[in-house]
Amino acid sequence: MLKYLGNVGFNRLDDLNGMYAFAFYSKSENKLYFSRDRLGKKPLYVTIEGISIRWSSTVESLESPNTPNVISDEALVQYLSLGYLIDPTCTKSNNFAVKPGEILCVDLVTSQVVTSIISSPKIENGGDTLRGSSLREVIANSVEDRVFGHNKVAISLSGGVDSSIVAIEVAKKSGNAFAFTARWSDSDKERYNFDADVAERVCSKLNLKIEQVEMIKASELVSELTKFLTTLQEPNNNPSGVSMLRLYSRIAESGHRLALTGDGSDEIFGGYARHTAVSRVRNILNIGAGSLITKSFADVHESRTPLYRRAIGTQISPASPFSWLQWHWIFTPREIVHIFNEKSVGTMASVLLAKSVLDLDKKDHHKNPESLMRRDHEIWLAMESNRKLDRISMHYSIEARSPFQDDRVVGWANSYMKSNKYKRLSKEVLWREYPELSDLGVRKDKAGFTSPVGHWLRSNPNLVKSSLDYLSRDNRFNKGGLNFYRDAPQRGQYRELMQLWTLVVLATWLQIEK
């Protein structure tokens, strides 16, 4: 493939439909090219130190024994703000990630990056090849391509719309498919088992074999969190990752090497409540992206702010990075000020995050109302969800594939959404194309793959205390600000619980890296 690309030029990357990451050396130019797939399903990291250029699919293999194990300020602000890192940022400032869809060129004479472009796939309007195709046909073809040649297929089945559609299609194409779902015997709320109950019914009606995988007990949290962060090689505050570790471990033990997931559907079909809220209040306001009111609105935002108020805030300027960020803060810039000694860090958080989001814009398409969905697709899906899935699945030598992230499916969704002016959200079209979902008992109020974070924290007071004590010894943090979160498990406010969990994850990761 690399020889072929070298002969015809990198413009042919636009035609690739799949996941990849590679380095290509052009002898005639004496240049080194790096590239990743458009949704960041496969990782690629680079370090340039003088005339030395190193690259790898893992960060740890690039680490030098002379590099201090201190997370950079930029990475720290990104993590506390969002719960993960935005490419190209890495935890250490001397490493960087090739961005999804990027073609990066390094001149080997100067060891400098001389060109960085983002490939532009021909899928914006569905493409000529999709004309006349139904969504069901496109999804069926996507699934078929991913199971071809495999006599054993695992399905990560949550019981929601997306993974149930994958199960419907796999059941037709593979006689040896096996579903795996999560069961929480040790949890404080029965709702964590709703998914497993639905998944059982779906598989019973589709005649698929299924196993309910027992998730971790609260007493196992410390060891499992350590294993999760060691696997990811960077901090990530999504508690579902800890649970996925156990799920994929069991899939591997069962002898499977291919697993299909429903990841990516929400981002292209408007499956989140925020997408619907934004579409309902669009065009109410029209204030410039750089205005002070936009930044002021974003800075005072709290995640507990009513949905409609956040939706109106997004309309102030859809092109502004704050219109996306205000839906994703873990700690807002104002809240970060309270846990740091350096008060200017709040301003730094705003500036750095806004710049990071704008740097990822591939073209001038972040306009109302699709801007929120686009950025969810290009940032959150690529840099949080896909990164986490790849690290965990590959840790167990499993190829995890997501049919909804096929270019044909994304192209069909883009065309459909545009033709309906982004009014038909909540994955309405999926329910129409797959009417049997209702007969299978799939729930429309699916909440996603969740984990009992509150129960974990309440059951591990020593972990909470030791984590906050550890961060307090870092002179960047304010001890008084951190102390506020010591009682968060008892107060039971979800936002505070997630902020505390974010701090616990950070402290655990820092101690692993020490």
DSSP 340-408: BS-TTHHHHHHHHHHHHHHHT--SS---TTTHHHHHIIIIIIIIIIHHHHHHHHHHTT-EEE-GGGSHH
Per residue in 166-222, pLDDT (tens digit) is: 999 999 987 789 999 999 988 877 777 888 899 999 999 999 999 999 999 999 999
Predicted pLDDT of residue 278? 81
Under the banding of pLDDT at 50, 70 and 90, the label for residue 446 is low
DSSP 37-88: -TT--S--EEEEETTEEEEESSSGGG--TTS-----HHHHHHHHHHSS--TT
Q: Give the relative orientation of helices 221-232 and 494-513 as an angle to the nearest 10 degrees.
A: 70
Q: Beta strand 102-107 with 31-36: parallel, antiparallel or unpaired?
A: antiparallel
User: What pTM was estimated for this model as a whole?
Assistant: 0.90
Under the banding of pLDDT at 50, 70 and 90, the label for residue 292 is very low
Matching residue, tokens 């995640």: 303
Query: By C-alpha distance, which of 372, 342, 347, 343 is closest to 357?
Result: 372
Single-letter amino acid code for the residue at 87: D
Matching residue, tokens 């591939």: 362
Under the banding of pLDDT at 50, 70 and 90, the label for residue 471 is very high
